[in-house]
Structure 1
Amino acid sequence: MRLNDLDERILHALAEDARRSYADIGALVGLSAPAVKRRVDRLRAEGAITGFTVRVDPAALGWRTEGFIEIYCGRNTSPDDIHRGLERLPEVVAASTVTGDADAVVQVFAADMRHFEEVLERIASEPYVERTKSVLVLSPLLRRYTAGAPQWPGSRP
C-alpha cells in the first residue's frame, strides 16, 4: 500500500494523539471532518492503521527498571521459536531479530533489579538460548511515538 501526503499527515496527527477529533485533524490537513473519517476508515481497512492505544508511563504501573537483553541462540532456532518463548513473559514489551552476533534483542520492563534478574533467568532457561547479554537503562533520552517515515530536513512536508 502506498500512502499519499494527506494520509501520512493524518497518521502523524493520530500518532501524536489518537483521541484527536476528525475536525481537529481536518483543520491540520485541510480536509472536512467527514473526509478525514473516510480516510481513517480506509487506512484501517487497508491495514495501515492497526489499532488505537494509550501510552502509559511504565513507572505508573510499578515497572521502574528497564533493560535490553541480547539473545544468542543455538543453530536452527527460528524467529517463531524465539517469539513463542518470549510472548509468555509480560515483562517483554518488544523483541526483534537483529543483525550482528546476537540473534534477537528484547526490551524488558520490571519492578526492580531482582525482578529484572528473574526475567533474565527465565529467558536464559529457554532451550534454544545459549547465552544472553543485558544492559540496563539509566535514563531514557528519546522516545518517539510517530507514524510513517521520519521527516528529514528537506523531505516532503
Structure 2
Amino acid sequence: MDELNRQIVGHLLRDGRATFQEIGSAVGLSAPAVKRRVDLMRARGEISGFTAVVDPRALGWAIEAYVEIFCRGNVSPEVLQRELGVIPEVVGVATVTGDADAIVHVMAASMAGIEESVERIRTSGRVERTRTSVVMSRVIDRPARPGGAG
C-alpha cells in the first residue's frame, strides 16, 4: 500500500462516511481518482468492508469480559470459529501466544449473561479450563490506524 492509499484509509477510518470529494480534497486527488483507489484496495482485500461503530450499551450490552481458554491438545482456529461463533455474546476470538490457546471477547447485558456465555464456552469438549477477566472501564478504544506501530 503506497502512502497516498494509507492517507485515504486514514480518512476512512476517521470518518467512514466521508465522500470521495472530501477525501480527495484532503489528499490532493479528484473524487474519481479516490474512488478508483478505494475500489482497487477493496478488490485486493486491503479494505474488507465498511461498518458502523455502535455503542455496545445501545445494543443492551453493558458488561464485557475477556476469557482465556486453555484447550485439550491442538485445536485449529477453524474449530474455534465453528464452536464459539454460535455463541451470540462472543464478539471476537483470537489465538494467542503464551499459556492460553485463545482469548475470547464476550459482551452481554448482565453479569448473568457473561456467566452463561462462559459456561457455554466451557462446554466445548476441547476446552480444558478458562480464566475470565471482566472489563471495569475502557481507557483507550480506537481503531487501528495505517502507519501505526506494528
Smaller-chain TM-score bracket: over 0.9
Q: Residue 78 of structure 1: CA displacement?
A: 1.9
Name the counterpart of 2:105: 107
- Identity across matched positions, percent: 48
Per-residue deviation at 1:107?
A: 0.6
Structure 1 alignment gaps of length 5 or more: 153-157
Task: Name the residue aligned to 2:47.
Answer: 49
Match of 2:125 among 105, 124, 127: 127
User: Quick check: 1:73–1:131 contact (8 Å CA) kept in 2?
Assistant: yes
> Alignment partner of 1:60: what SS?
helix
2:73 corresponds to 1:75: yes
Tell whether 2:56 aligns with 1:58.
yes
Runs ≥4 in structure 1, deviation > 4 angstroms?
Answer: none
Task: Report the Cα offset of residue 151 of structure 1.
Answer: 6.5
Counterpart among 78, 91, 97 of residue 93 in structure 1: 91
The CA RMSD over aligned residues, in Å, is 1.3
d(CA) in 2 for partners of 1:88 and 1:34? 41
- The residue number in structure 1 matching 2:27 is 29
Indicate how the Cα distance of structure 1 residues 85 and 149 shifts in structure 2: closer, same or farther if over 3 A, else same: farther
- TM-score normalised according to structure 2 size: 0.96
Q: Could you tell me the TM-score, scaled by structure 1's length?
A: 0.92
Looking at structure 1, the residues matched to 123 and 149 of structure 2 have their Cα atoms a distance apart, in angstroms, of 42
How far apart are the structure 1 equivalents of 2:73 and 2:65? Answer: 26
Q: Which sections of structure 2, spanning at least 5 residues, go unmatched?
A: none
Aligned partner letter, 1:148: P
Partner residue in 2 for 1:118: 116
Contact 1:12/1:146 (<8 A) preserved = no
Alignment CA distance shift 1:50-1:24 (3 Å)? same
Match of 1:55, SS?
A: coil
Task: Work out the number of aligned pairs and report it.
Answer: 150
- Determine if the alignment matches structure 1 residue 9 to structure 2 residue 7: yes
